[in-house]
Every structure is written in C-alpha cells, then in structure tokens.
Amino acid sequence: MLTDLCVAVISDVHGNACALEAVLCEVRQASPDLTLNLGDQVEGSADPARAYAMQAALGATEVRGNNEEKLWPAGRRGALARQFGDWLGTQLGAADLDRLSALPLTARVVNGTVLACHGTPTSAWKMLLWQWQFQDAATGEGFYHARDPRELLSMVQPLDAEVIVVGHTHRPGATLVGDTLVVNAGAVSDQVDGDPRARWTLLRRRGGTWSAEFRAARYDVEAAVQWSRRHSPFGEFTADLLRSGLMRGRGEPSPE
C-alpha cells in the first residue's frame, strides 16, 4: 500500500456542467491517485446530461445520494419533484438513470481505510457532522446545528475507518472523531454560504497521516444560468440559486 497518496472528492454536482468542468480542470492538475464521487450527480437544470457524461467518464468510485434515490419508482413524493423528474427524463436516457439509482450506499477504498457515503453510512438523507433543523417543513427552510459530539463518536468508532468522507450538506468541514478524520466535502453546485464558487476536496495521506484540503473553483455562473433558462422550465430558480450561492430551502425532508 502506498504511504503517500491523494484522493480527489467531488460531491453534489446537481447537474451543473459548467461548475463541474471548472472543478475537473483543477482535479486533473492535482493528479489524484483515485477519485470519489459522493452522489447527487444530476438533479439540477444546468445541463445535467453533459454533467452526467463527464462524471461517467471519470472512472470514480461512486456512491448514491438522496437524489439518486429519487430515481427509484416511488422516490419522488412532491409535485415539484415529479415535475423535475419528468424533465430530467428528457435529458438523460433510462439506462443512465437506472445506473445512477443502483449505486451503492457506501464504498470503501484504500484497503478499506477510507469510507465514503453521501449522508451517513446508513442513510443518504441523514447528515453526519451537522443536522438540519426545519423551521418550515413546507419550504425546507431551517438552519444547521452540530451533532452532539458524544453521539457522533458512537456513530464513527464502530466503522473502523481512518477517514470517513461524506457530502449532502453542501458545507465543507472536517473534524477528528477519536482517531478518525471525518470530512464533509463541499458541493460542486448549489452552495449554502453565499459564495457561488464550485467546491471540491483533496484528501492527502503523508506518512500515514490524513488531511483535507478544501478547494473553491470559479466558473461561468451566467453560462449555467442561461443554459437552464433556454432548455428547462426551472431557469429563474436556478438563476437565484447559482448567482446567490444560497440554497434558500432544503427541499423534501428525509423520508425516515
């Protein structure tokens, strides 16, 4: 096993081909030993077909996100979610959507020392480092709060991993839990902090010690907005989301 290596992590592309293109330019420059894709690949309206093609060509180790679970037969519960699903079906082929829906919930790489998942190892909808407190279940509005550290320790220790890397929250961050580095990778698209740049994470192991480097790539937001306006019925929503760097609602709550 290599002592020193680097792992590129992308997550939450949300069908934004322009943002992903900028991120992958930086990823190629980093020359990682392997790449992880933590899910929510195509649920967005800024050229999801091209975003999917770029992700499929990466040869990354992939896990499914909560939005891949929306591709299941009963996965879309709300009217807007079903409307989006109908449109998405005009952009990607059924075989591609079926492949995404069948991705595993978790994956282990680097001889099992790195555990990857979208939300938690048992749910693509739940969150590991932070939890979302709903103020308005109808709109998804709310705020993050940190998970109780004792609860987090009880969740992480039995997993026997050197690194656990997750996505889902669109909020980059890392902390040491016992002897495990827990990393929440930033989102390629649909930011929550007011900074519209595309995010990704580079994990490095040097001499047996892991670290996380959080990256932010500038991309042509207006090109993404204009694609959505020309080709989808969701252009105004996408314009506000991508320009502001603020996800004003969290969408459908967890089904659990």
Q: The domain spanning residue 125 has which CATH number?
A: 3.60.21.10
Examine the pLDDT at 254 and tell me if it is beyond 70: no
pTM of the model: 0.93
List the beta strands (DSSP E) in the chain: 5-10, 34-37, 61-62, 106-109, 114-117, 130-136, 141-146, 163-166, 173-177, 180-184, 198-206, 209-217
Range of the domain at 147: 5-244
* Average pLDDT of the residues of the chain: 93
Residue type, 244: S
Residue 65 lies in a domain: yes
Residue 37 lies in a domain: yes
Examine the pLDDT at 223 and tell me if it is beyond 80: yes
What confidence category does residue 129 fall into, taking pLDDT thresholds of 50, 70 and 90? very high
What confidence category does residue 249 fall into, taking pLDDT thresholds of 50, 70 and 90? low
Residue 256 lies in a domain: no
15-62: pLDDT as tens digits: 999 999 999 999 999 999 999 999 999 999 999 999 999 999 999 999
Residue 249 lies in a domain: no
What confidence category does residue 256 fall into, taking pLDDT thresholds of 50, 70 and 90? very low
Residue 254 lies in a domain: no
| CA–CA–CA angle 221, 103, 109 (5° rounding) | 90
For residues 168 and 152, give the distance between their C-alpha atoms in angstroms, rounded to a whole number. 17
Residue type, 191: Q
Please count the structural domains in the chain.
1
Residue 253 lies in a domain: no
135-179: pLDDT as tens digits: 666 665 666 788 999 999 999 999 999 999 999 999 999 999 999
The dihedral built from the CA positions of residue 135, 137, 143 and 149, taken in this order, carries a sign that is: positive
For residues 107 and 64, give the distance between their C-alpha atoms in angstroms, rounded to a whole number. 10
pLDDT, residue 138, reads 63
Residue 49 lies in a domain: yes
Residue 99 lies in a domain: yes
pLDDT, residue 250, reads 46
pLDDT, residue 185, reads 97
pLDDT, residue 86, reads 97
The mean per-residue pLDDT over the stretch 73-102 comes to 96
Examine the pLDDT at 251 and tell me if it is beyond 50: no
Residue 187: burial class (beta carbons within 10 Å; 0-12, 13-18, 19+)? buried
List b or e across 89-104, with b for residues whose CB sees 16 or more CB atoms inside 10 angstroms: eebbeeebbebbeebe
